[in-house]
């Protein structure tokens, strides 16, 4: 049986009197696209921030390729191939595309000077790998549309050669055309073997590119389905009702269908 690239077991996280995560289990397989859904207080972003080390868990285990880990910061999870792209993209608008892709780690000549030709050439290569169209690597990021800024953020993540990318509400503020381009980019990343987690309220997007969907409700697991064996209606019912006692896991559903 294939080992999950990421597995989380019994994750607990409390903020004061609020129990944000209660015994949550999570797994992500190599090259899989997983939709993580639930209402605004479900704990989706909290779970991913625990995964990346932005938050420290109160209890539970996080395993990467079967090895137990405890990330103390996002820098440590990045070193293990995990990237998270937030809604605000965290770009420097007054810098150009190439500078943003390699922000803080610009290639140097003689250990002193920024090797600009190398930086811009590598930026073009990363963008080409994603098959996205940014007019110029010299263009200021603040002049780009929201969709193209997101492409730069994804290119920056890809430049670290990640095994996992987490997207936080990636299509929330995009036009229809930009959303289509993003979904194409996700499909391309999947073809390249990059596992992805999509935190989103837009089920249509997840059903278009996803392999599996996981539902949280008030910080607890309430559903786990393969996209091929469920419907948007069923997932919406889980989000609204939150009935873990009647929800089959994806593996249970697959065994029943066999």
Q: What digits encode the pLDDT tens for the residues 86-97?
A: 888 889 999 999
What are 119's two structure tokens? Answer: 């930086």
Indicate whether 256 pLDDT > 60. Answer: no
Task: Give the confidence band of 191 by pLDDT, cuts at 50, 70, 90.
Answer: very high
Rounded CA separation 161/79 (Å)? 10
Rounded CA separation 139/216 (Å)? 40
**Phi, psi of 112, rounded to the nearest 5 degrees:** -125, -45
CB neighbour list of residue 132: distance below 8 Å, 6 or more residues apart: 148, 151, 154, 155, 181, 185
Q: Give residue 27's Cα distance to chain centre.
A: 13
pLDDT in tens, 96-112: 999 999 987 777 776 67
The whole-number pLDDT of residue 255 equals: 53
User: What percentage of the chain exceeds 70 in pLDDT?
Assistant: 93
The whole-number pLDDT of residue 165 equals: 96
The whole-number pLDDT of residue 2 equals: 86
pLDDT in tens, 17-43: 999 999 999 999 999 999 999 998 899
Query: What is the residue-wise DSSP string for 20-54?
Result: EEEEEEEEE-TT-EEEEE--TTS-HHHHHHHHHTS
The whole-number pLDDT of residue 257 equals: 45
Q: What is the mean pLDDT of residues 108-122?
A: 83
Rounded CA separation 54/62 (Å)? 13
Q: What is the mean pLDDT of residues 170-189?
A: 88
The whole-number pLDDT of residue 188 equals: 92
Query: What value does the mean pLDDT of the chain take?
Result: 89
Selection from 197, 253, 217 nearest residue 27 by Cα: 197
The whole-number pLDDT of residue 12 equals: 98
The whole-number pLDDT of residue 171 equals: 86
Rounded CA separation 23/102 (Å)? 38
Indicate whether 175 pLDDT > 80. Answer: yes
pLDDT in tens, 121-145: 999 998 888 877 777 899 999 999 8
pTM above 0.85, yes or no: yes
Rounded CA separation 23/214 (Å)? 15
* Crossing angle (nearest 10°) for helices 116-130 and 176-191: 90
Q: Could you identify the residue written with the tokens 């002193």?
A: 112
Instruction: Give 164's Cβ-side CA count (13 Å radius).
Output: 25
CB 150 within 8 A of CB 89: yes
Indicate whether 194 pLDDT > 80. Answer: yes
Q: What is the mean pLDDT of residues 184-199?
A: 94
């Amino acid at each position: 049986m294939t080992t999950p690239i990421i597995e989380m077991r019994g994750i607990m996280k409390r903020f004061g009197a609020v129990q944000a995560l209660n015994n949550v289990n999570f797994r992500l397989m190599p090259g899989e696209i997983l939709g993580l859904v639930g209402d605004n207080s479900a704990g989706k972003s909290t779970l991913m921030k625990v995964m990346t080390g932005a938050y420290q868990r109160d209890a539970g285990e996080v395993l990467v390729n079967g090895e137990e880990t405890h990330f103390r910061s996002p820098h440590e999870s990045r070193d293990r191939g995990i990237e998270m792209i937030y809604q605000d993209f965290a770009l420097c608008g007054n810098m150009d595309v190439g500078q943003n892709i390699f922000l803080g780690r610009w290639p140097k000549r003689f250990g002193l000077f920024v090797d600009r030709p190398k930086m811009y050439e590598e930026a073009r290569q990363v963008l080409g790998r994603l098959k996205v169209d940014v007019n110029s690597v010299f263009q200021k990021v603040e002049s780009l549309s929201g969709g193209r800024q997101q492409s730069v953020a994804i290119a920056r993540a890809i430049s670290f050669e990640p095994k996992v990318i987490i997207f936080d509400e990636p299509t929330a503020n995009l036009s229809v055309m930009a959303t289509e381009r993003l979904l194409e980019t996700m499909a391309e990343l999947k073809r390249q073997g990059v596992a992805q987690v999509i935190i989103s309220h837009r089920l249509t997007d997840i059903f278009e590119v996803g392999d599996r969907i996981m539902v949280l409700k008030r910080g607890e697991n309430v559903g786990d389905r393969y996209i091929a064996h469920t419907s948007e209606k069923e997932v919406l019912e889980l989000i609204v009702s939150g009935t873990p006692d009647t929800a089959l896991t994806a593996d249970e559903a697959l065994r029943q269908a066999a």
